[in-house]
Amino acid sequence: KNEVEQSPQNLTAQEGEFITINCSYSVGISALHWLQQHPGGGIVSLFMLSSGKKKHGRLIATINIQEKHSSLHITASHPRDSAVYICAVRWTSGSRLTFGEGTQLTVNP
Amino acid sequence: DTEVTQTPKHLVMGMTNKKSLKCEQHMGHRAMYWYKQKAKKPPELMFVYSYEKLSINESVPSRFSPECPNSSLLNLHLHALQPEDSALYLCASSQEGSGNQPQHFGDGTRLSIL
């Protein structure tokens, strides 16, 4: 069964801390997406990657294809980073996205 | 502001009502999606339209009826819904439907069935 697992499920941090959220998947993929969902419901696409590393502001996403693992890092975290972060993959054999269960991040001031 | 606009933002309806959810994008994207999301769960794909043709229907009950009148618009017609259909309904679009392009999401319609 094709699966996407995220860890941790919940994460609480103090403002300024470095944060890492992990995503593991079971078989080959052609693309991995990191998404952010705020309490209001809207989803923002943060990164799409198939190899290496991408950086945007304080956010960094990495992927290791051999280990079937991706990480999302947030440097100098801020309360406005509080949201659910979702990993989603497109398997090599299909076109739809499979979503992880999400990581609820809370950054306290 | 999101580039994918969904209306209404909130909808409360009875089980016998007929209503429609609307989604609009002007990015020239040729793939559009409907997702259903229950609380504290990831989005579940319902339908995919590619070049205005229905390409994926994830065995969604017929009380949900999608429609793509043109490349910028996507509707979801609702009829005789059940209380368990209460959820956040998200629309998304991408340049094409291969899964290798970022999907742009709307803010969703929060639907409550009485």
d(CA A66, CA A25): 11
- Is the Cβ pair B92, A30 closer than 8 Å? no
Nearest CB to A86 within list B42, B45, B56: B42
What pLDDT was estimated at residue A40?
81
Confidence of residue B98 (pLDDT cuts 50, 70, 90): confident
Residues 6+ apart with CB under 8 A from A26: A1, A2, A3, A4, A68
In Å, how far is B17's CA from the nearest CA of chain A? 24
Q: What share of chain A is helix, strand, coil (3-state, %, to 5)?
A: 5, 60, 35
Nearest CB to B104 within list A45, A88, A101: A45
3 state DSSP class of A42: coil
Q: Which of A85, A70, A96, A86 is nearest to A2 (CA)?
A: A96
- Is the Cβ pair B99, A31 closer than 8 Å? yes
- Is the Cβ pair B99, A42 closer than 8 Å? no
Nearest CB to B102 within list A42, A48, A102: A48
Residue A61 pLDDT exceeds 90: yes
pLDDT in tens, A23-55: 999 988 999 999 999 988 889 999 999 999 999
pLDDT in tens, B1-20: 569 999 999 999 998 889 99
Place of tokens 């340049």: B95
d(CA B40, CA B11): 20
